[in-house]
């Protein structure tokens, strides 16, 4: 009969109590992941404590698929730091290096100009129309560490959604057919 036949038979034999137990287990896994994410947000001070590098604009330092760990502190942002920022009107954050910092004497506010290490010019073309500098509220965090290549899983699932659906389906079958 094979693996598929055994899986179908296993699904048919599931009792309500077993299904309820497995649903609770799945809910606990999802809830635990959310709690860990929120805890990381509190500890790092960043709305997104982990990001994936999606382009080659920071090569050779960071390659596409690297995972960056972010931290946001009250310390002033300095030229040379690698920051992750959001631009008004764009959904995807950008990872680039700070090349210029302009501090206003009267308010102490800081304006920042960024550039990708592998890009020819600064990022003013990426900013919102008419925007010449990034402000503190645009910056999500500073890169404090990275894991090379681990983010490729996310990139592949985003670029090839069928793989994501197959993986979710396989995990769902695994949860439903597992025996205690």
- The per-residue pLDDT for range 9-44, each reduced to its tens digit, is 666 666 667 777 878 888 898 899 999 999 999 999
Query: What pLDDT is stored for residue 30 in this prediction?
Result: 87
The whole-angstrom separation of Cα 37 and Cα 153 is: 18
Residue 54 lies in a domain: yes
Band of residue 131 on the pLDDT scale cut at 50, 70, 90? confident
pLDDT > 90: what percent of the chain? 39
Residue 112 lies in a domain: yes
| CATH code for the domain of 54 | 2.10.109.10
Burial (CB count within 10 angstroms: exposed 0-12, middle 13-18, buried 19+), residue 63: middle
109 is catalytic: no
Q: Exactly one of 25, 32, 46, 57 is catalytic; which is it?
A: 57
Q: Exactly one of 10, 71, 91, 96 is catalytic; which is it?
A: 96
Residue 177 lies in a domain: no
57 is catalytic: yes
Residue 140 lies in a domain: yes
Q: For the chain, how many structural domains are there in total? A: 1
Residue 18 lies in a domain: no
Burial (CB count within 10 angstroms: exposed 0-12, middle 13-18, buried 19+), residue 138: buried
pLDDT in tens, 83-113: 999 988 888 899 999 999 988 777 777 889 9
Q: Strand 50-52 relative to strand 139-147: parallel, antiparallel, unpaired?
A: unpaired
Residue 4 lies in a domain: no
Residue 159 lies in a domain: no
9 is catalytic: no
Query: What pLDDT is stored for residue 158 in this prediction?
Result: 87
Query: What pLDDT is stored for residue 35 in this prediction?
Result: 95
The whole-angstrom separation of Cα 47 and Cα 51 is: 11
For residue 75, the enclosing domain spans 50-148
- DSSP annotation string for 41-73: HHHH--SSSEEE--SSTTTTTS-TT-EEEEE--
Residue 174 lies in a domain: no
Burial (CB count within 10 angstroms: exposed 0-12, middle 13-18, buried 19+), residue 60: exposed
CA dist 105 → 79, 97, 108, 110, 132 (Å): 18, 23, 5, 9, 18
Query: What pLDDT is stored for residue 144 in this prediction?
Result: 93
Q: Exactly one of 46, 66, 123, 138 is catalytic; which is it?
A: 123
The whole-angstrom separation of Cα 46 and Cα 67 is: 15
Question: Residue 166 corresponds to which tokens in the numbers above?
Answer: 């197959």
């Amino acid at each position: 009969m094979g693996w598929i036949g055994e899986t179908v038979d296993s699904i048919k034999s599931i009792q309500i109590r077993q299904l309820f137990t497995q649903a609770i287990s799945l809910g606990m896994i999802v809830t635990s992941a959310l709690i860990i994410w929120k805890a990381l947000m509190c500890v790092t001070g960043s709305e997104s404590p982990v990001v994936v590098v999606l382009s080659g604009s920071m090569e050779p330092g960071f390659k596409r698929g690297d995972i960056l760990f972010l931290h946001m502190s009250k310390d002033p942002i300095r030229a040379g730091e690698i920051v992750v920022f959001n631009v008004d009107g764009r959904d995807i954050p950008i990872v680039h290096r700070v090349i210029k910092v302009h501090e206003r004497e009267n308010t102490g506010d800081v304006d920042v100009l960024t550039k990708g290490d592998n890009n020819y010019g600064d990022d003013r073309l990426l900013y919102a129309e008419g925007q010449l500098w990034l402000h503190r509220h645009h910056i999500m965090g500073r890169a404090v560490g990275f894991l090379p290549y681990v983010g490729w899983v996310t990139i592949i699932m985003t670029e090839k959604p069928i793989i994501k659906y197959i993986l979710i389906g396989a995990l769902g079958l695994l949860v439903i057919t597992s025996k205690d």
